[in-house]
Amino acid sequence: MSRRTKAHEWEMHPELLTSIRSPWEKYRKVDWNFARYEDAVFTRPCDPEAVVYSALDFCVAVVALRDWTRKTLTRDLRTGGKALPSVLASVSEFPALVAQRVRWQAAIEAIANTTKHAEYRDTGWPMGLARPSSFYPPFLQAEHEACKDGLELFAFMHKYKDVTWWDISLRQHPSEEAEPGYVAFGDVLDQWAGILKDLGYQDD
């Protein structure tokens, strides 16, 4: 099948297929994805599949928000619908702005690209790992640390299913320092809200 050689007459109307009209509406979709992920993390007993799948969906949604915002900004500047925001010297600085303001953006993009393309892609986040990890209240630390293998860990998580939970752990091999997805993804959501506000795309 050949690629389209000229723009579709509806090119400027993505809402015809998405019902989404603006970067802020796209952000609201990301916020919705985060809420689904948050629900999965806080459900007891916690379903690790629900946590992982909703985390993957969140990452894909954030990358779509990046693309949507960049495209909308480029178009608005070209057509005179918007003046260049003060946080940018030129529209070409948009990727650098995102990288500077959203600490975990590179990890989000690596996860999303790997999810979409079925191969490990760590551009910008070399040797990155996003793995399900077990979390527990402090009074269970000794028993958790005594688990010798995955079978014992799953037995532990089942035994205490009303108070333990699963989350995504983000780290770069070989470092053992990891960030829970709940912290990282929440920061991403807040930081993107700040970017959209500074670009003039935040609706009150």
Averaged pLDDT score across all residues of the chain: 95
State both tokens at 77: 């500047």
Task: Encode pLDDT of 176-199 as tens digits.
Answer: 999 999 999 999 999 999 999 999
Higher per-residue confidence, 20 vs 204: 20
Whether 1 has a pLDDT exceeding 60, the answer reads: no
Residues 121-137: pLDDT tens digits? 999 999 999 999 999 99
The verdict on pTM exceeding 0.85 is: yes
With H, G, I as helix, E, B as strand and everything else as coil, classify residue 17.
helix
| 44 close to 166: Cβ distance less than 8 angstroms | no
pLDDT of 92 reads 95
pLDDT at residue 72 greater than cutoff 60: yes
Collect all residues with Cβ–Cβ distance below 8 Å to 18 and sequence separation of at least 6.
none
Compute CA distances 149 → 75, 155, 156, 173, whole Å.
54, 10, 11, 20
Two tokens, residue 172: 């770069």
On the question of pLDDT at 7 being above 60, the answer is: yes
